[in-house]
Structure formats: structure tokens, C-alpha cells
Amino acid sequence: MQEVWQFLVKGGITMIPLALCSILGLAIVIEKSFSLRRKRIIVPEIVNVLENIKGPDDIGLALSICEKYEGPFANIIRAGLQNRKLPKEELKEALTDQGRQEVNTLERGLVMLETVATVAPLLGLLGTVLGIFKVFNVIAALGVGQANALSAGLSEAIITTIVGLFIGIPALVAYNYFTKKAEDLVLEIEKHSSALLRKVVSFQMDYQVNSHAI
């Protein structure tokens, strides 16, 4: 452990922002690993009750189930059920507006993770430049024969590059993974909300036909 600490200390002052990037990136990865779990977003009970809506009398039960849960999926479906008496276009707009808000919730933190993936290698490059600059200063002052004096700058140049890439590459992989996962969840939510819209509109049409018949 002490050897690792000494290795990192040799990276110089650039290691401080790199450490912050590492902590931030890890925190976002852990949070998204929990918050983007499919069962946590696409609540099975809500899916089940939506599939079993056969008529207007079933709306109340579906609404009560949605009110028991929080999250993007529950919020969108609840918005559709609460606005079920609106005309088709207005209901569709209400679902779309709610969907935009919930997408932001699903994607929260991903921009920061992308920033970490971009900034960490650049910080590593900055550390490399600073290390090389120190090497040139030593050469200018003492000449090229002082290996011990040159080693500090060379170590800083190499270590910051390694650490920057070590943080940036996993962060980029995690960003792409969670972005794809969020997109898949959005598509699944859209599928269920579209099915709900079709059912509600069909109930409205049946009601209008029955009203005219009476």
C-alpha cells in the first residue's frame, strides 16, 4: 500500500484533480448501477396491471398501483391515467412532456461521467507536459548527466499519463454502457405508454359511440 502511495505521489500536483476525477467517476458508476436497474425502473406490477386493463373500470386500479411507486415509468403512466379524459393529441402531448422530464432523470450524471472520461486523459497529458518541463529545467541547470535529478520529472510525466488513461478508459466504457441502458429503458417506457394511449383512446371512442347510440 505504501509503495502505491509513493508511486502516486511521484505524479506531482496533477494527481490531485485526477484523484477527484477518479472519486467522482466511481461514485457515478455506483449510483447508475443501482438507479438504472431494469426492475427498479420498469416496475413489474405496473406492467402487469397495464396489460390487464380491459375497460374504463380498470383505470382506477391501475392508477392506485402507479401511486404506490416513484420513478420515471410510474410517473409517466400515472400522468397518462390522470389525463385520460383529454383528447388524443392533448393526452399524447402530456405523455411526451412528462417523458422529457423523466428522461432527464434517467440520464442524470451521465454528462458528468462523460466529462470525467474526457478530462482524465487530458489531465494525464498535462502532467506529462509538466514533467517534461521539469526535465528540461534540470537539463538546463545541471546538464544531461544527472540521472537522479532527471528521474523525478520523467516519473511525473509517465505516471500522470498512466493514471489519466487508467481513469479515462473505464469511465468512457461505463458512459457508453449506461447511455445504451438508459436508451433501452426509454424505448421500453415509450412502448408501454403508447399501448396505454391506444387503450385510453379506444375507451374514449367506445364511450362516444355508446353516447350517440343512447
**Tens of pLDDT along 34-89?**
999 988 889 889 889 888 888 777 788 888 888 888 889 888 988 888 888 888 88
Residue pair 12/161 in contact (Cβ under 8 Å)? The answer is no
- Of 48-52, 78-82, 147-151, 186-190, the one with minimum mean pLDDT is 147-151
- Given a cut of 60, is residue 209 above it in pLDDT? no
Residues 172 and 13: their CA atoms lie apart, in Å, by 24
Per-residue cell: 43: 416496475
Per-residue cell: 56: 374504463
Residues 127 and 90: their CA atoms lie apart, in Å, by 55
- Of 122-131, 142-151, 174-183, the one with minimum mean pLDDT is 142-151
Residues 40 and 193: their CA atoms lie apart, in Å, by 17
The predicted pLDDT at position 89 comes to: 86
Per-residue cell: 63: 392508477
- Of 16-20, 96-100, 153-157, the one with minimum mean pLDDT is 153-157
Residue pair 207/91 in contact (Cβ under 8 Å)? The answer is no
Looking at per-residue pLDDT, the higher value among 154 and 28 belongs to 28
Residue pair 15/160 in contact (Cβ under 8 Å)? The answer is yes
- Given a cut of 80, is residue 114 above it in pLDDT? yes
Please, which pLDDT band fits residue 141 given cuts at 50, 70 and 90?
A: low
Would you call 85 exposed, middle or buried from its count of C-beta atoms within 10 A (0-12, 13-18, 19+)?
exposed
**What CA–CA distances, in Å, run from 35 to 31, 89, 116?**
6, 32, 19
The predicted pLDDT at position 119 comes to: 95
Angle at 72 (CA atoms; ends 71, 76), nearest 5 degrees: 115
Query: What is the chain's mean pLDDT, rounded?
Result: 82
The predicted pLDDT at position 28 comes to: 95
Residues 178 and 106: their CA atoms lie apart, in Å, by 10
Give the residue from 160, 171, 203 showing the smallest Cα distance to 18.
160
